[in-house]
Structure formats: structure tokens, C-alpha cells
């Protein structure tokens, strides 16, 4: 009987450690254009995010959190959404969420911005796995040079999801606002790391 306890305690400890560490993190890949001098960027346009989810507010929410986090963490001028919307009305890109290189150049010139950021919300909301459920947010962001419209930085992040702990104890995971904030913070933290 003693050997069962001696084996069981470390096994349970390892299981609890794995559960505590098993939050879904997603892709950590980041692309940097080695020819881009990110230190020269002073102003940024964040276009409305493309929303590929069933949640009608996912794109708007993720963009708002991204703009606020960008302003808080990086010393850049983030052009206000109202000015961006007026520029979109003037330049009339076919799809403001996914502009062409020429449309990026026009928008950047119209707003006197160094770079334009586009985003796509890939997952947003509750994810179910068996009897467990948890919130998840998955974002993909691109930074486009204002003078050329070419991609100079891109990254994606996923936070939340059903972890082993959620399955084991039936917890509902983190609230949606926390999951979105963590995904956005991950992206902004990687933005100027080269």
C-alpha cells in the first residue's frame, strides 16, 4: 500500500503541474522585414479588423483593444478612428479591412502615416471540447509600410481555449475580455522586438 502512495503523489503532482501550465498559446511565429527601420516609425493607422467569426462585434472589439494597448505600450501616434474613417471615405478602398498595396499607399499619404496595420480575427468566443468550454481569441496582424504598401511585420496569437485543467475540473476558463487582452498584448509586445 505504501508504494502506491509513493508513486501516486508524484504522479498527481506532475498532473497538476501540467494542468496549471497548459493554457493554449497558439502560434508564436513573427515576420520582420530586415530592411525596415522600425525606429523611424512615428505614426500608425490601424484599419478596421477583418472578422472571420460568427460574433458580429469581434473585429471592432479586437481593434479597439489593439489600439488602446498600442497607445499604452509604444511611443507612437495612433491616428484616431474618426480620422481613419474619413480617410477611408475619401480614398474609397474596395475592402478597407484588406486593402491592396496601392490603397495602403493612398491611405497612408492621406493620413500622413508611416505604417498601416491590418488585422484579422480568426477565432472569438466560446470553444467547447466535450463537456468543457472556455473562451478563445485568435488574431493575425500585419504592418504595411506607408510608402510602398508592402508587409514589413506580421504575427499571430491565440489565447484561451479549453485546457486540460478545464477538462479536469470543469472550469470555464478566462473571461473574454482577459483572453482578448492577452492575445493583443502578446502581439504588441512582439511588434518592435527584432
- Assign residue 137 the CATH number of its domain: 3.40.50.10610
* Beta strands in 23-88, from DSSP E residues, in sequence order: 30-32, 43-46, 50-51, 77-78
Q: How far apart are alpha carbons 107 and 96 in whole angstroms?
A: 10
- Tell me what pLDDT residue 26 has: 46
Q: Is residue 152 one of the residues assigned to a domain?
A: yes
Tell the burial category of 80 from Cβ atoms under 10 Å away from its Cβ (0-12, 13-18, 19+): exposed
Q: Is residue 85 one of the residues assigned to a domain?
A: yes
Q: Is residue 17 one of the residues assigned to a domain?
A: no
Residues 6+ apart with CB under 8 A from 184: 62, 65, 66, 69, 139, 157
Check pLDDT > 90 for residue 130: no
pTM over 0.85: no
Q: How many domains does the chain have?
A: 1
Q: Which domain holds residue 154?
A: 24-191
Check pLDDT > 70 for residue 72: yes
DSSP 8-state class, residue 52: -
- Tell me what pLDDT residue 21 has: 39
Check pLDDT > 70 for residue 64: yes
Check pLDDT > 80 for residue 19: no
* Proportion of the chain above pLDDT 90, given as a percent: 66
Check pLDDT > 90 for residue 151: yes
Q: Is residue 146 one of the residues assigned to a domain?
A: yes
Please identify which residue in the block is written with the cell numbers 505600450. Answer: 73
Tell me how crowded residue 113 is: count the other CB atoms within 10 A of its CB. 25
Q: Is residue 135 one of the residues assigned to a domain?
A: yes
Average confidence (pLDDT) over 34-60 = 95
Amino acid at each position: 500500500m505504501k508504494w502506491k502512495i509513493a508513486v501516486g503523489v508524484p504522479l498527481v503532482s506532475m498532473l497538476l503541474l501540467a494542468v496549471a501550465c497548459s493554457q493554449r498559446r497558439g502560434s508564436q511565429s513573427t515576420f520582420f522585414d530586415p530592411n525596415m527601420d522600425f525606429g523611424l516609425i512615428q505614426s500608425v493607422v490601424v484599419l478596421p479588423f477583418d472578422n472571420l467569426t460568427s460574433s458580429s462585434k469581434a473585429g471592432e472589439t479586437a481593434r479597439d483593444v489593439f489600439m488602446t494597448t498600442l497607445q499604452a505600450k509604444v511611443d507612437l501616434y495612433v491616428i484616431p478612428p474618426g480620422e481613419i474613417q474619413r480617410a477611408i471615405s475619401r480614398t474609397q478602398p474596395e475592402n478597407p479591412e484588406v486593402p491592396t498595396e496601392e490603397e495602403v499607399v493612398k491611405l497612408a499619404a492621406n493620413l500622413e502615416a508611416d505604417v498601416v496595420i491590418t488585422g484579422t480575427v480568426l477565432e472569438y468566443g466560446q470553444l467547447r471540447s466535450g463537456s468543457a468550454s472556455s473562451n478563445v481569441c485568435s488574431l493575425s496582424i500585419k504592418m504595411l509600410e506607408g510608402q510602398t504598401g508592402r508587409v514589413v511585420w506580421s504575427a499571430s496569437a491565440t489565447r484561451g481555449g479549453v485546457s486540460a485543467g478545464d477538462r479536469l475540473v470543469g472550469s470555464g476558463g478566462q473571461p473574454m475580455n482577459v483572453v482578448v487582452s492577452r492575445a493583443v498584448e502578446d502581439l504588441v509586445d512582439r511588434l518592435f522586438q527584432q
